[in-house]
Amino acid sequence: MTDQSQSGPNGPIQPGERAPEFTLSATPDQKLSLSDLRGSPVILAFYPADWSPVCGDQMGLYNQVLPEFQRLGAQLVGISTDGVWCHAAFAEARKLHFPLLADFEPKGRVARLYGVYRAADGISERALFVLDAEGVVRWNHVSPLGINPGADGILDALEAIAAPARSEGAEA
């Protein structure tokens, strides 16, 4: 018997697949849709919970690396099953400068769409997706819950997306 709490029935969505559209709360009175970010690369950082030590370190690292993500034209979004008020307190305490989206109700709906919901735990996997400007997954990674995946894979994926654009510009 396979444990489907670790991921969706087919595992996480894969490179080459179109990222599922979603709209989630960013604050108590603001929502953000994936379509709002179309036109530039997007990093979706699913994480299990605000306030856990590994999640705090991971989101803190991404906050430090944010200028590099932005230099590569990418927008970063954190997503967990915690609510907007929890996200607001966590973001303020950690001085985060990117949106945290609440995949809260229905619980884990977006994590399920991406194949990274842990139903037995009621949280998402620690999963990363890098999307190109058209919303196609170009890279993904699922880490064990207790391990911070770092930023190297994200940066490599963003560089790979940027490389064809740079070479096309050089030929023009």
Q: How confident is the model at residue 67 (pLDDT cuts 50, 70, 90)?
A: very high
pLDDT single digits (tens) 125-144: 999 999 999 999 999 999 99
CA angle 81, 61, 11 (to 5 degrees): 45
75 is a domain residue: yes
d(CA 85, CA 88): 5
18 is a domain residue: no
pLDDT above 80: residue 82: yes
154 is a domain residue: yes
pLDDT above 70: residue 37: yes
Residue 55 falls in the annotated catalytic set: yes
Count how many domains the chain has.
1
pTM for this structure? 0.91
Domain span at residue 27 reads 23-171
112 is a domain residue: yes
100 is a domain residue: yes
Catalytic one among 55, 96, 130, 151? 55
User: Hey, is 37 helix, strand or coil?
Assistant: helix
14 is a domain residue: no
Q: Lowest-pLDDT range, 13-27, 95-109, 156-170? A: 156-170
101 is a domain residue: yes
Tokens linked to 171: 């030929």
Residue 111 dihedral angles phi and psi, to the nearest 5°: -60, -40
Provide mean pLDDT across the span 34-55.
Answer: 97
- Where residue 97 sits, what CATH number does that domain have? 3.40.30.10
Q: How confident is the model at residue 5 (pLDDT cuts 50, 70, 90)?
A: very low
E strands in the chain: 23-27, 30-33, 42-46, 75-80, 100-102, 117-118, 123-124, 126-131, 137-143
What pLDDT was estimated at residue 166?
61
53 is a domain residue: yes
pLDDT above 70: residue 96: yes
